[in-house]
Structure 1
């Protein structure tokens, strides 16, 4: 499906309605892998204290977008502003990027916890190496992060002693160690049963409400998306085919690709 530039611009205006100062502003970002253009002139905003849910078929560009925003994948072109500072210019990260990146956390589907380390060490390993924090500060940060995700009693547990939902909560706590302003979540509930996924959603909703964290979440779970989203984005062939309210998106009839996608995976 070929989405026109005007359609993309309309989507951006829709997402920005009532928000003049987004935390993240992406404009005209492109990314190619070989002959495949995975991100095709993408423009969007992520707003403060809001959950943006990104849906679309596998290979449509959703995860690549998150990785570009996180700095894990380089864009070929485009710009990105973080809290009003230009951090990506013509596909190149600027001097302001390192400060912005330190306030961005990313969580993956597979948890990526070190199996031989207990929860405390999993949370403190990177900050100890990168920031040279002392044991007292590391412990205090870990206890606070675990308390925020309801896992304060598991600080000495090993990953194999935890359920899938508990491991995902620990992964969220690890991302919280750096007190992020933006949390990027890539299919973090795909391996979880619906009741456990609901628990994870509760954690994310509390972080948005109580900590003011902005969250961008990729998922194929439409029930989860409907409950989580303040804003919904639908990716199709590397472009934003829809951006707006979940209620509008899930009842969409004008956009044939979105309607087919929702019907195919509807809860």
Structure 2
């Protein structure tokens, strides 16, 4: 599946603010433990606005924990995290300040998490109305544009249970973009899909990456997708970035044996 590039650009431009190429996300000496297990070990890591960064590495290397920290679904044990110049951790300004910082972040989960009792259109509209205070008519226009962008304009009145898994995930992408996030987090978004549905979702994300300036931070085992859309590919192992570079370097000429070993197992 492929969407109209002009439509993609117009719809997404209404969904996220312009970028300036400056640093958007920073992790400074961040450590996260679960019991005796050190998941992130003094991590220093940053993402510039407008860049597409794909985190690769073995399971349990800390990649998804980064996304969970950015969504404040968990908290670091040590270190500092900032998003768009606003401090996320340590918490500075209480829950109200955290909500303001979180508004800049959209997350697409492995599971679609659509509201089953709401039609597709309302699933996409609900958060902009309730969280951003957007008028319903404006939210509806934006939602319909985004559903058109992901190829589901004709399913706006359907309930999620009437959609395939791939269609539900595309609705979830539209829902995340409807909040005008500065950064879109993608957490193994195809891992719960049947193999024949994966390509359609990845095509939508490729069109967004190629046609818009939205910042993307992606965790995936789809290495061809990572190669296609990324500006930077950090390789994670044992809670640290052990190597990072543009995709042509990481996938073709990695410096470390550990990176070559991992890629040899997944490519």
Q: What range describes the TM-score normalised by the shorter chain of this pair?
A: 0.7 to 0.9
SS in 2 for 1:73: coil
In structure 2, the partner of 1:181 is 182
SS in 1 for 2:191: coil
Cα separation, partners in 2 of 1:191 and 1:228, compared to 1, 3 Å: farther
Q: Which moved more, 1:29-38 or 1:128-137?
A: 128-137
In structure 1, the partner of 2:162 is 161
Question: 1:77 Cα deviation (Å)?
Answer: 1.8
Structure 2 unmatched runs, 5+: 1-19
Runs of 4+ in structure 1 over 6 Å off:
none
Q: Which moved more, 1:225-234 or 1:60-69?
A: 225-234
Determine if the alignment matches structure 1 residue 202 to structure 2 residue 203. yes
Determine if the alignment matches structure 1 residue 21 to structure 2 residue 19. no
Q: CA offsets per residue over residues 176-235 of structure 1, 9 Å max, x none? A: 111111000000022346664343333223334444210011011222222222211111
Q: Which moved more, 1:30-39 or 1:193-202?
A: 193-202
In structure 2, the partner of 1:9 is none
Q: CA offsets per residue over residues 241-263 of structure 1, 9 Å max, x none? A: 11111121123454122111111
Is the CA contact 1:30–1:78 (under 8 Å) kept in the aligned structure 2? Answer: yes
Question: 1:135 Cα deviation (Å)?
Answer: 2.8
In structure 2, the partner of 1:93 is 91
Map 1:57-76 to 2 at 5 A.
Answer: 57-76=58-77
Question: 1:157 Cα deviation (Å)?
Answer: 1.2
TM-score (norm 2): 0.83
Structure 1 unmatched runs, 5+: 1-18
In structure 1, the partner of 2:10 is none
In structure 1, the partner of 2:11 is none
CA separation in 1, counterparts of 2:132 and 2:195? 37
Question: 1:115 Cα deviation (Å)?
Answer: 2.5
TM-score (norm 1): 0.83
Q: Which moved more, 1:133-142 or 1:23-32?
A: 133-142
Is the CA contact 1:198–1:224 (under 8 Å) kept in the aligned structure 2? Answer: no
In structure 1, the partner of 2:124 is 123
Q: Which moved more, 1:121-130 or 1:174-183?
A: 121-130
Question: 1:52 Cα deviation (Å)?
Answer: 0.7
Is the CA contact 1:253–1:259 (under 8 Å) kept in the aligned structure 2? Answer: yes
Is the CA contact 2:21–2:49 (under 8 Å) kept in the aligned structure 1? Answer: no
Q: Which moved more, 1:233-242 or 1:248-257?
A: 248-257
Residues matched between the structures, number: 245
SS in 2 for 1:23: strand
Determine if the alignment matches structure 1 residue 36 to structure 2 residue 34. no
